[in-house]
């Protein structure tokens, strides 16, 4: 079962948005993200966004940067979180925070106090990834508002060929965690092996979850995620926003979805 909501959520019905190719896809996601942030800011003041790692997630951030000059987004009122982090040194090029900074965050006037990066290896917890995950749980708890409000406004997620999201891989403890909002991962099949990740418990507290992927290699994961609720076998299937779950894919990634 994907999760146990107290009541039916509209986000339990994923919507599929198919674009011609990866470039069109990331441009569409970037434009929509800028609009969504501006809309949230207009009604609630600040917006909270979860960034993700990988080619697709960072590609979207580059597009956001290219497009943001004329947007209504007030960067000083954007709270930035991460779906997961590679537990490497802070300046390591593989670190998701580092890549997001290079692609976008270093070039827009984000309030440094609102950048909620996951701890790096060699930082205040040394190599203790569990302590780093616990520190992120504290950040999430401090950011939590009343139960009626979502934890995040938009949660971006890339998708792996076997259906992983963040650092939640099929048939792992992390993917089965529905209590703690963030956990450490030590044996991640995608290098680097040690990571910190949000769990489905916190991802599903987003108002909108946006899964973004392209290419034929992702076609099976996309088709299966849209037809199963088994988040242990396919973690992406468990990622549902409270209000919306949007799958942004290109034609190749959508090629095995029936009744598009």
Ligand X SMILES: O=C(O)[C@H](O)[C@@H](O)[C@H](O)[C@H](O)COP(=O)(O)O
150 binds ligand X (CB under 6 A): no
Structure tokens at 160: 């792996």
Q: How far is the CB of 41 from ligand X (least distance, A)?
A: 25
Q: Which residue in 11, 14, 22, 166 binds ligand X (CB under 6 A)?
A: 166
54 binds ligand X (CB under 6 A): yes
Distances from the Cα of 14 to the Cαs of 17, 222, 226, in angstroms?
A: 10, 11, 7
Displacement of CA 119 from its chain's centroid (Å): 17
Q: Which residue in 3, 9, 55, 229 binds ligand X (CB under 6 A)?
A: 55
Interface characters, 15-34, with ligand X (x: CB under 6 A): --------------------
- Give which of 244, 206, 220, 175 is closest to 10, Cα–Cα: 244
Question: Which residues on adjacent β-strands are paired with residue 47?
Answer: 78
92 binds ligand X (CB under 6 A): no
Residue partners of 7: CB distance under 8 A and separation at least 6: none
Q: Which residue in 14, 22, 53, 163 binds ligand X (CB under 6 A)?
A: 53
Q: Which stretch binds ligand X (CB under 6 A): 26-34, 136-144, 154-162, 242-250?
A: 154-162
Structure tokens at 176: 């089965």
Q: How far is the CB of 236 from ligand X (least distance, A)?
A: 9
Contact 153, 47 (CB under 8 A): yes
Q: Which residue in 26, 48, 79, 96 binds ligand X (CB under 6 A)?
A: 96
190 binds ligand X (CB under 6 A): yes
- Give which of 175, 192, 167 is closest to 83, Cα–Cα: 167
Angle (nearest 5°) at CA 66 between 245 and 206 = 20
Q: Which residue in 11, 14, 22, 57 binds ligand X (CB under 6 A)?
A: 57
Residue 5 or 189 having the CB closest to ligand X: 189
DSSP 189-212: SSSSS-EEEE-HHHHTTEEEEEEE
DSSP 129-161: HHHHHHHHHHHHHHH---TTS-SEEEEEEE--T
52 binds ligand X (CB under 6 A): yes
Q: Which residue in 26, 84, 208, 237 binds ligand X (CB under 6 A)?
A: 84
Contact 212, 29 (CB under 8 A): yes
Q: Which residue in 78, 165, 206, 253 binds ligand X (CB under 6 A)?
A: 165
121 binds ligand X (CB under 6 A): no
Angle between helices 54-67 and 96-103 (to 10 degrees): 20
163 binds ligand X (CB under 6 A): no
Interface characters, 218-257, with ligand X (x: CB under 6 A): ----------------------------------------
Q: Which residues bind ligand X (CB under 6 A)?
A: 52-57, 83-84, 86, 96, 158-160, 164-166, 190
């Amino acid at each position: 079962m994907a999760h146990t909501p107290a009541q039916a959520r509209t986000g339990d019905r994923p919507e599929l948005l198919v674009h011609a190719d990866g470039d069109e896809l990331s441009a569409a996601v970037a434009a929509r993200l800028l609009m969504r942030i501006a809309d949230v800011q207009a009604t609630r003041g600040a917006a909270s966004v979860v960034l993700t790692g990988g080619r697709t997630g960072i590609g979207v951030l580059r597009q956001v940067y290219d497009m943001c000059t004329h947007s209504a987004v007030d960067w000083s009122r954007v709270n930035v979180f991460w779906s997961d982090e590679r537990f490497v040194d802070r300046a390591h090029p593989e670190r998701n925070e580092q890549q997001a900074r290079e692609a976008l965050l270093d070039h827009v006037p984000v309030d440094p106090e609102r950048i909620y990066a996951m701890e790096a290896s060699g930082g205040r917890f040394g190599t203790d990834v569990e302590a780093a995950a616990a520190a992120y749980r504290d950040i999430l708890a401090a950011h939590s508002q009343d139960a009626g409000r979502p934890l995040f406004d938009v949660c971006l997620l890339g998708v792996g060929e076997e259906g992983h999201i963040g650092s939640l891989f099929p048939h792992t403890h992390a993917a089965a965690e529905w209590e703690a909002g963030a956990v450490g991962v030590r044996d991640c099949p995608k290098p680097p092996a040690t990571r910190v990740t949000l769990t489905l418990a916190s991802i599903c507290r987003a108002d909108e979850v946006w899964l973004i992927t392209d290419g034929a290699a992702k076609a099976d994961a996309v088709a299966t995620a849209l037809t199963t609720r088994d988040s242990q076998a396919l973690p992406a299937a468990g990622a549902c926003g409270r209000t919306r779950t949007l799958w942004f894919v290109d034609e190749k990634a959508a090629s095995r979805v029936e009744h598009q």
